[in-house]
Structure 1
Amino acid sequence: MTSFEFPGEYYEIMRGDFRDLAAETDFLSSFASAGGRVLDLGCGTGTNLRELGARGFSCLGADQSARFIEYARGAGGRNVEYVHERAETFTTDDRFDLVYSIFMTLNYLPRAELRTVLRTMRGLLRPGGHVVLEFGHLLNFVEGFQQHTVAHHRGGDGVLITRLARQAINPHAANWRNEETLLVRESDGRVSLYDNFFDQAVLTGPEVRELLADAGLRIIAEYGGFRKEPVPFHGRGPLVIVATAQGEDSE
């Protein structure tokens, strides 16, 4: 289960502290032809899609958070559309040159739905199209576990977000529950509070590779990040997988 129903402008501030948007945009652009059709499953506030749309791609984003989709639509951007829909239930007659799901969206999905979502991704590809997945795997969770954390995120307009987080483990379900309280101080001194939580399935590389093969997808590359660096031997950090439909050639 996940709950991301807080204002999208605060998510944008926090996201900026964790991500390298330029590297993500260059990476994703390299797997779709110029002007191609792109789908982001779990698009959040549309950060990646606005950058891809500015580069001439035709973009569609889907996310389960009504607040994030509201922000994304209000933020504008060329060549970008959004739908308020969960990845597990998303359907369309459209087809895409690139379908991607990043920033650990795969980990947020119910484990029982992973096979269906990956098969859906396969069915949405145009000939020669690519799927890009980024997910956190076992060592991310083992090494990153902290029962309680406090973090501060500052926006350029004077907004201060204090994030109080608690992690709880269900080892029998291989699930991490993250409970967060966001305290937000605006530049004029107003303070607001938001309650946020999300579950993350602890995935492993072999598990995801098996699911991709079962969905009819063939892995063509694996990376340790969006600068196309090699997957580190020690297994720490995220894993980025690029796949295409089985039986198709790829560049």
Structure 2
Amino acid sequence: MTSFEFPGQYYELMRRDFRNLAAETDFLASLLPDGGRALDLGCGTGTNLRELGARGYCGVGVDQSASFVEYARRMGGEGVEYVHERVEDFESEDRFDLVYCLFMTLNYLPRAELRRVLRKMRGLLLPGGHVVLEFGHLLNFVESYQPYTVAHHRGDGVLVTRLARQSLNPRAANWRNEETLLVREADGRVSMYDNFFDQAVLTGPEVRELLADAGLHVSAEYGGFRKEQVPPHGRGPVVIVATAEGAGAL
């Protein structure tokens, strides 16, 4: 389960502290043909699609947060549209050159739905298209575990203070994050939002097996969007590029 129903501008502010948008955009654009179409499953506030749209690509974003989709639509973007729907429920007759799922969205999906969602991603690809998955794996969770954390995010005169509690359900291999966001605007107004999300604790072998079952072949694997080598100790994010079986490696 996830709940991300707070104003999208605050998510954008926090996102900047976690992500390298330029590196993400370069990476995704390198997998798209001129004028290609991308599908962003778990698009959040549409950050990646707006950047791709500015480079001449078209795209569709899907997210279950009404607040984030509203923000994404308000921000616009050339050739970009958004669908308010859960990723696991999304259906489309369109086909895409690139289907991607970033920033732990794969971990947010119910474990029982992963196999079906990856098969759906395979079915949404145009011939020669690519799937990109970025996910957190077991050591990410083990090393980053803190029962309670406090973080501050600043920008444009706004201060967001994030108070978070983490708990683990080992029987379900599930990580729950419960957060309170305290927001102070530039004019001194203060607001508060509650936010929570569950994450399935995944492993690399598990995801590779699910991709193979979906008819997708892993053509490249990186430790980040600058195409860093996956660290031998297994820490850090994993970025996997997959193609339909029979397609050549990158």
Partner of 1:95: 95
Partner of 1:230: 229
For residue 52 of structure 1, report the CA deviation from its aligned partner.
0.2
Partner of 2:49: 49
Aligned pairs for 1:1-251 (under 5 A) are 1-155=1-155, 157-249=156-248, 251=250
Secondary structure in 2 aligned to 1:69?
Answer: helix
For residue 247 of structure 1, report the CA deviation from its aligned partner.
1.9
Q: When the two structures are superposed, what TM-score results if normalisation uses the length of structure 1?
A: 0.99
Secondary structure in 2 aligned to 1:26?
Answer: helix
Asked if the contact 1:128–1:250 (Cα under 8 Å) also holds between the matched residues in 2, the reply is no
For residue 37 of structure 1, report the CA deviation from its aligned partner.
0.8
For residue 250 of structure 1, report the CA deviation from its aligned partner.
5.1
Secondary structure in 2 aligned to 1:14?
Answer: helix
Amino acid at match of 2:149: T
Query: How many pairs were matched up?
Result: 250
Secondary structure in 1 aligned to 2:127?
Answer: strand
**CA distance in 2: counterparts of 1:34 and 1:228, whole angstroms:** 21
**CA distance in 2: counterparts of 1:49 and 1:250, whole angstroms:** 25
**CA distance in 2: counterparts of 1:236 and 1:31, whole angstroms:** 25
**CA distance in 1: counterparts of 2:249 and 2:167, whole angstroms:** 42
Asked if the contact 2:137–2:202 (Cα under 8 Å) also holds between the matched residues in 1, the reply is yes
Asked if the contact 2:219–2:248 (Cα under 8 Å) also holds between the matched residues in 1, the reply is no
**CA distance in 1: counterparts of 2:3 and 2:216, whole angstroms:** 30
For residue 79 of structure 1, report the CA deviation from its aligned partner.
1.2
Q: When the two structures are superposed, what TM-score results if normalisation uses the length of structure 2?
A: 0.99
Secondary structure in 2 aligned to 1:115?
Answer: helix
Deviations 1:134-174 (A, max 9, x none): 0000000000000000000001x211000000000001111
Q: Which runs of 5+ in 2 are unaligned?
A: none
Secondary structure in 2 aligned to 1:88?
Answer: helix
**CA distance in 2: counterparts of 1:116 and 1:56, whole angstroms:** 31
For residue 182 of structure 1, report the CA deviation from its aligned partner.
0.2
For residue 249 of structure 1, report the CA deviation from its aligned partner.
3.2
Secondary structure in 2 aligned to 1:49?
Answer: helix
Q: Which runs of 5+ in 1 are unaligned?
A: none
Deviations 1:23-71 (A, max 9, x none): 0000001111111010000000000000000111111100000000000
Amino acid at match of 1:87: V
Deviations 1:209-242 (A, max 9, x none): 0000000100000000000011010000000000
Q: Deviation above 4 Å: which 4+ runs of structure 1? A: none
**CA distance in 2: counterparts of 1:89 and 1:116, whole angstroms:** 10
Secondary structure in 2 aligned to 1:122?
Answer: helix
